[in-house]
Structure 1
Amino acid sequence: MLKNIIFDFGNVIMNYNPDEILNHYELSRQEHNLLRKAIFESKEWSEIDAGKIDEKQATKIFVSRVPDNLKNKVNQIMATWPENVDFYEPVFNYIEHLRKDDYKIYGLSNTGMEFANFVKDSEMGNYFDGYVFSAQERLMKPDSRIYEKLLNRYSLKAEESLFIDDLKANTEAAKKLGMQTFTFKIDKLDELQDYIASH
């Protein structure tokens, strides 16, 4: 019997799209492209998620790589980008419905702590019963140990837990541990609801 629903963040509870994030800042096309490469497509961006460096260290590196006229923009983007992400309201409405039906809701995300804390400290944090974040654990999906951290920390049984992620490699890794899985895109929300209703 299904008791626990575990959500990835990027492209599951929100639309993670660097171009759309950067559209919130006043940038020319050239500046937009330069900052996308310098920040979101950098190796340091992945290292933030992996817990190898933190956002402050990464910001200094990004600032050092851009022309003088964009240094303040880098600081501004790094300080404010989480507020400029579009969260999927229908997903949160559905999570609210699941909570009323006594499902436990968890977050398992490859993300840095700035974004993790932004979600936890906002009203979105009220939707979750617990979290595991890659930067904090210094483990990244699809490493099996990060799923095991979640199961062990909250005393969850794998077979009673559904893991939802947009990447097949991540759902496959959860499946190997005996979890139920669903590979998600926002246009599959109806399919997800049908799956949960039938389990």
Structure 2
Amino acid sequence: MIKNIIFDFGDVFINLDKQATYVALAKLGVNEVSESMMQVYYDYEMGLMTTEEFVGYFHNEFKIDKEALIDAWNAILLDFPLHRLKFLKELADSKKYRLFLLSNTNDLHISWIQENWGDALYNEFKSCYEQFYLSHEINLRKPNDNIYEFVLNENQLVAEQTFFIDDTKENTDTAKKLGIKVWNIDPANEDVVGLLSREEFSL
């Protein structure tokens, strides 16, 4: 029986264009992603470096204007369909499940969301969750085992009673190995509002 639901953020609630940042960076002269760039990205996503250090890396490495880099970095972020917020609020109000958010999110992205949505909408969304875990705040990231173990242990959740929704298969694969039930959602063809029609919730 499902008692706990853990949601990803991007391409579950907020729509993403995952190629947009690469396209925007290419226009700024960054045409390939190196291992060192990926390590900087992972470090930033885990809160191991500041936004100033992150932006400074690209500025120094590629002579990119800092504001242009920030715009390129946030190009991935699209709209938040409000029917998903309605679904989430109804789910929270039902009090049938403990709800958690677990997202690989960096400071620049969450700052853009807060500014773009406005405080009222952002706080309305955030208040639906018992805990709101962002990778850069807890210094952990998916798909590493320890981020799931952290959420389970911190909230005394039983893995087999927990359901996790994420658009990245690598993330759901790790959670599944720990005994968590998963939905690797396909954002092109599926919507999180269909969650409760899944067979796991009819048991």
TM-score range, shorter chain: 0.7 to 0.9
**Which amino acid is the alignment partner of residue 188 of structure 1?**
E
Aligned to 2:68: 73
Q: Secondary structure at the match of 1:106?
A: strand
Deviation of 1:99 (Å): 1.1
CA distance in 1, matches of 2:113, 2:126: 6
Closer, same or farther: CA 174–32 of 1 in aligned 2, 3 Å: closer
Residue 106 (structure 1) shift: 0.7
Shift of 1:94: 1.8
Relative to its length, the structure with more helix (as a share) is 1
> Does the C-alpha gap of structure 1 residues 158 and 35 become closer, same or farther in structure 2, counting only changes over 3 Å?
farther
Shift in CA distance, 62/32, structure 1 to aligned 2, threshold 3 Å: closer
1:108 is matched with 102
Change (3 A) 1:112 1:36: farther
Distance 1:173 1:32 in 2: 30
Q: Matches of 2:183 and 2:55 in 1, distance apart?
A: 35
**Alignment: residue pair count:** 189
Distance 1:82 1:92 in 2: 22
2:190 counterpart (184, 188, 191): 188
CA contact (8 A) 1:163 1:181 kept: yes
1:5 is paired with a residue whose SS is strand
Matched with 1:148 is 149
Partner of 1:171: 172
Aligned-CA RMSD value: 3.3
Conserved? CA contact 2:15–2:77, under 8 Å: no
Shift of the 192–57 alpha-carbon distance from structure 1 to 2, 3 Å rule, reads same
Q: Which amino acid aligns with 1:56?
A: E
Aligned to 1:51: 47
- Which region of structure 1 is more displaced relative to structure 2, 146-155 or 89-98? 89-98
TM superposition shift of 1:37 = 3.8
CA distance in 2, matches of 1:18, 1:174: 22
* CA offset digits 1:81-121 (Å, max 9, x no partner): 39953224333222122112212211111222443466686
Which residue identity is paired with 1:153? E
- The answer on whether the counterparts of 2:6 and 2:162 sit within 8 Å (CA) in structure 1 is yes
Partner of 1:25: none
Q: TM-score, normalised by structure 1?
A: 0.76
Structure 1 position 149, deviation (Å) = 0.7
The match for 1:96 among 69, 72, 89 is 89
Kindly tell me: are residues 82 and 5 of structure 1, through their superposed partners in 2, closer, same or farther at Cα, counting changes over 3 Å? farther
Aligned counterparts of 1:130 and 1:14: Cα–Cα separation in 2 = 18
Residue 12 of structure 2 is aligned to residue 9 of structure 1? no
Amino-acid identity (%): 27
Query: In the aligned structure 2, how far is the partner of 1:170 from the partner of 1:128?
Result: 20
**TM-score of the pair, normalised by structure 2:** 0.74
The residue matched to 1:188 in structure 2 has which SS? coil
Residues of 1 paired with 2:25 and 2:106: CA distance?
22
Q: Judging changes above 3 Å, is the alpha-carbon distance between structure 1 residues 18 and 177 closer, same or farther for their aligned structure 2 residues? A: closer
